[in-house]
Structure formats: structure tokens, C-alpha cells
Structure 1
Amino acid sequence: MDQIQHKFIEVQGPELHVAGIGSGPDVVVFMHGFPEIWYSWRHQMVAMAGAGFRTLAPDFRGYGLSDPPLEPEKASFGDLIKDLGALLDALGIDKVFLVAKDFGAFPAYLFSLLHQERVRGVVTFNLPHRSPSHPIQYHEHLPEGFYISRWKEPGCAEADFGRLDAKTVVRNIYILFSRSEIPIAAENQEIMDIVHPSTPLPSWFTEGDLEEYGSLYQKSGFRTALQVPYRALKEDLGITDFIVKVPVLLVMGEKDYVLKFPGMEEYIRSGKVREFVPQLEIVFSPDGTHFIQEQSPDKVNQLILGFLKKYI
């Protein structure tokens, strides 16, 4: 961890905070989810660097130490895709492997569609690639208290989160998202109230980790993080061919609540996903939760390295 270097790189105006370690021509870019930042990939960065890869982990704009957009309510996935391209240009990098988790999978897949020539392969955790013609209609099948339904409404999460400090918000979400049940609030209950204050952190997530997350979200707040991903999901990027043509590894934890989204498990296990990702490997981890890269870093590092080494 002490060897990880930090720099700020201007992309399209805002400065992105980028953590990095390792050197050489084979580059891996890690793309975080919510409520995460570059630190989520600390175990993988050190392991990949030790195996001879150059690793980079940016905070998305408005997350962690990266500058927020001028108008957070207009932030989009298109911004993240442009930021990635600008980051690679600024660093003189032509082609990379993308490793992404949670909503970070969206810009990773979309970047590979828009800039296939710059992507050697993609590894994603928690979310498969889907064509807009085959959306997951989870809102139609889950109660009003479903966390995404709540958070996509402007003002709802802001009021819920605003009762607590940033560290407690991150703590509650880590506890909720590490469970195997979809976070759904009861009637007249807020999402933050699902977690009792006495509930312990997951065994693999330390108080020191929580301090790191809390301090970074204390700086950035949640204004941009609630826009992207939760309020930018229907963005039209003008893509007409949604078939990902680069090699992809999808890792799903069998105890990840996302697997219980209506239609999700069937879409993956039936092989339907391969209609849009022909070169797809799928690994199911029996004990894996939504934070498998932090929960089981050694296992995840082996999976990523095994994939990368096939394509260098």
C-alpha cells in the first residue's frame, strides 16, 4: 500500500485523482462501483503490480478526491467514458485491460463498444453486459422500498443520507450490500434505517477501511454519486451495435444480492448473456458477496491474473 502513488490528471476540465502502482507495457485500469473509490481495488493493484502489470485506479469524477462536475445533476455515464479516454491519452497509453465492479461495469463495457481498439479484455464483477433491447425490469417486480427506486428519485436519498455523517452512510451501505438479500425498505422506513447501529461490519472490512472511505466521502459527498449511477441509467449514447467483441470474464458471487434481481440469474446461467458477449467466461463464487474483491482478495487476484495472462 505504501508503494501506491497518487496523482491528479486533468481530463476535460476536472482533475481526476488516480492511484497507481507497477510499470511496464501491460496496463490494467480498475473501475469502482458505489459506495467505493480507488481504495476498493487496493488488494488487486498490489497483486497485479507484483505480477508485472502497470495498474491504475481512478476515482470517478465527483467521487473521492476527483473533482466534481460543474453540474452534478447532469453527470452521465458518457462523462465517465470520455474521462477514461482522456486519462489514457494523458498518460500515453494506447490499450488496456479494464477491471470493473458494480456500476463500473457499465462504462467498461460501453468503452469497449465505442473504443474496441483500445481494450484488450474486460473483467467485471456483479453485473453482466446487457443490450438495451433486453433490460432487467426489476422496478416492475420489486416493492417501492427497493433501494434503487428510492435513490433514483431526487431528494429522497439526500434526505435519508443527510441525517448521518458520511462514514455512517458508507458503513450502512457496506453492511446492506454485503448481505444476500436485496435491500428493500419497509413502508414508512428509510434505507439507512434498515441497518441497526449495533450491527457489526463484515469481518473482512476493518474500522481502518471504513475511516478511509468515510474521509473520502466526507470530501466528495454523495451528490454526484447519486446521479451516476442511479439517475443516469437510461442515457442514450448513440450505440447501435451492443455486441462486445473483446474477451470478457464475468465473476458473480452466489451470495451477492444482485443475483436475486428479477431475471438476472436466469439471464446469466441460461447463456443468454453470450448473445451479447461471445467471448465470455463466467465464474460463480459460492461464498462471494457483492464486495468479493475485498472479501476474498486472493481468490479474485488469481481469477484476474489467470484471465490477463491469456491475452498478453
Structure 2
Amino acid sequence: MYHIHQNFVEIRGLSLHIAELGPICSGADVLCAAAAATVIVFLHGFPEIWYSWRHQMVGVANAGYHAIAPDFRGYGLSQVPAEPGKTTFQDLIDDLVGILDHYKIPKAFVVGKDFGAQVAYNFELLHPDRVLGVVTLGIPYVPGALQTQLYGQLPEGAYLKRWMIPGRAEADFGRFKVKTVVKRIYILFSGNEIPIAKENQEILDLVNKSSPLPPWLTNKDLKVYASLYKKSGFSTPLQVPYRASPVDLGTIIPKVSVPALLIMGDDDYFFKFPGIQQYLASGVKQFVPDLNVTYMSKGTHFVQEQFPTKVNRLIIKFLKKHTKSLMPLEGLSNHSSMR
């Protein structure tokens, strides 16, 4: 069994948890040594933590890369800031700079899921000299100026709008055990419709208590997520991404200068956001010129956990294309999850 190392580092006054693995080598020491300097940073979304990248960490490590996956401040095993309600997206970007500096990593590939995609792209725009390429899952790059336009068309009962209101989600979540909260959010977000509640209904009530977990998420996985959210609480996760303002990039948005890959599931509820399909078809490349988009059949918002082998292959193909390392892909399908 591959052992993912669990580390804690002091970054900007907080103890941040960072999972780390790789490279894993067998018989190709020269190639592996050359690849060891290539780091892949995985940035989670909500309701996720570093654990959501467990399959991808093993996949890229087995291909000879060095994988690191932090828990954002206030998430998972990372320390909760003294004032969670003041956490910003800029904090997460500054934390990432601190992590790379701590590990003496000059440049890395950055992989982001859900709102981690927003962090990944903003990090590249603010620190282009630190990024080799960007991979995002579930969400494309959406400039802050367009977020209001795209998301503002959602009805009042949409989960995103409800959770923006201080106290609303806290009251909703507070009726249940943490494990139930995480389970219901996973069920909601793995569907192909935007979670929208009626006027006198709460978001978590959209899920029947007898509804099963998605087939790719085990009870063991749920226990891991629940134990970590029980530790961290939901104060910081509700602040970022739902209540924090976008990073201020100025009135003229710079273009992403590195190669990029977007992996989207065909059944991702995000496609139902007003204007998103048109934006993906004709708008996003004006901000991310060197972008390739891959749509995964039957994929949900959690494609990296739902189809880990397929996602691993796509990510590693992208990494190999944009590095000079000559590492074989053989055997990746057999090492797409912890074992």
C-alpha cells in the first residue's frame, strides 16, 4: 500500500496540513530522478479536502511526479484562522506561495477542483513565474467581473445564493450530524441539476434521508470526510468560497500564459448555470488561450473520484506533453487509487 505522508507546516501564522507522495520509482531511476523536481499541487473544492485527490496523488506519483495536496486554511486538518469570516481568496493564494517557498519549489503544475480552480487560475495570473501549467475539474476560469453576471441570474433558492447569507447555511447544517451534512451535500452535488430550494425549504431538505451515497463514494470515504469536517467545522468553508469576494485583478484581466486543461463531466450540474455553456463554447478562451477542454461521458461534478483512472490518464498525458520528462504510462490504470 502506498503511504501518503501527512505533514504540518507553519505558513503565515497558521499550521497547514499538507499530504505528500512520490515520486514512486521501479527500475527507471534516472528518469525518476529527473522527474522528481516536477511538482504537482492539488487544490481541493467544497465539500472536499486533500483526501479527494487520493487517487490522483497515487497516479502522478506512480508516473514519477511529486504530488502535494494541502488542506486550505480552516479545512480538514489545517488550522482554523482566528476570524474565519475574514478569510479571503487572496489568503489562499498567499498561503500557496508560502507552501511553495517552504518546499523550495520554484515552479509547479497546479490542479484545481471546484473553487480550487479559481484559486489555481488566480495564482497563475498573480504569480505566472511559479506555474508550469493549470488543470481544472468541474469549473473553468471565470473572471470575477463575469461571476456576478453569470451567477447573478440564479434564483433566490439556489444553494450558492442561500449559502452566501451569513447564518442561513449554519442553521440548515446545524440540524444534522456532520456526517449527514457531508453526505447530503455529496448527493446534491453529484446530481445533474442545480440544488434549488423552495421559499420555505432549506437546501439540505432537498435530499431524502433514505437517499444512498453515489456508488463511487464508500461509507469509509464518508467517514473520513465527516471526521475532518467535525474537526474543522464549516465556518471557513462557508466563507470561502461562498462569501468571500473574488480576487481583484483590476479592470483589465490578464490572459493566462501557461497551457491549461479543463475536465468536465457531461452530467455536471454546473452546466445548468445560466450562460455557462455559451461561455465554455465561445468565451473562456479569450482569457485562457492555450486551453483544451475534455468532456467525460456520464461524469458528475466529482469526476476525479467517480472515474479516477480516466482522470489520471488525462492529467498525466497533459503533464507529459508539457514537460521534457520521458516517463512510461504503463501500469497507471493499475495504480489509480490507494492500495
Same structural fold, with TM-score higher than 0.5 when normalized by the shorter chain:
yes
The percentage of counterpart residues that share the same residue type is 57
**Structure 1 residue 164: Cα displacement:** 0.9
Partner in structure 2 of residue 291 of structure 1: 302
- Measure, in 2, the Cα distance between the counterparts of 1:92 and 1:139: 38
Distance in 1 separating the partners of 2:315 and 2:241: 25
Shift of 1:133: 4.0
- 1:13-35 deviations in Å (ceiling 9; x for gaps): 00110001003111000000000
The residue correspondences of 1:16-165 to structure 2 (distance < 5 A) are 16-23=16-23, 24-135=36-147, 137-165=149-177
Q: Following TM superposition, by how much is the alpha carbon of 1:131 offset from its aligned partner in structure 2, in angstroms?
A: 2.8
Residue in 1 aligned with 2:260?
A: 248
> Deviation of residue 132 (structure 1)?
3.4
Number of residue pairs matched by the alignment: 311
CA displacement 1:68-106 (0-9 Å, x = unmatched) = 112110000000000000001011111100011000011
The residue that corresponds to 1:177 in the other structure is 189
Moved over 6 A (4+): none
Q: Does 1:276 align with 2:276?
A: no
1:182 touches 1:257 (CA, 8 Å); kept in 2? Answer: yes
Contact 1:255 1:289 in 2 (8 A): yes
Q: State the 1:130 CA deviation.
A: 2.4
In the TM superposition, residue 136 of structure 1 has moved relative to its aligned partner by 5.3
Cα gap change, 1:70 to 1:190, in 2 (>3 Å): same
* Alignment partner of 1:12 is 2:23: no
Q: Deviations for 1:102-140, whole angstroms, at most 9, x for unmatched residues?
A: 000111001101111110000001111123343353444
Cα contact 2:151–2:273 (8 A) shared by 1 = no
Given the alignment, which residue of 186, 193, 199 partners 2:198? 186
Report the TM-score when normalising by structure 2: 0.89
Structure 2: unaligned runs, 5 residues or longer: 24-35, 324-339
1:301 aligned partner: 312
Q: Secondary structure at the match of 1:113?
A: helix
Task: Please give the alpha-carbon distance, in whole angstroms, between the structure 1 residues aligned to 2:94 and 2:246.
Answer: 18
Distance, in Å, in 1 between the alignment partners of 2:155 and 2:313 is 38
- 1:152–1:199 CA distance, 2 compared to 1 (3 A): same
* Kept in 1: contact 2:89–2:246 (CA 8 A): no
CA contact (8 A) 2:164 2:243 kept: yes
Query: 1:196-217 CA distances to partner (integer Å, 9 max, x unpaired)?
Result: 1100000000000000000000
Larger-gyration structure (1/2) = 2
SS at match of 2:144: coil
Per the TM alignment, residue 259 of structure 1 is displaced from its structure 2 partner at its CA by 1.0
> 1: distance between equivalents of 2:232 and 2:186?
18
Confirm or deny: 8 A CA contact 2:150 2:276 kept in the other structure: no
Q: Please show how residues 221-232 of structure 1 align to structure 2 within 5 Å.
A: 221-232=233-244
Cα separation, 1, equivalents of 2:142 and 2:291: 13
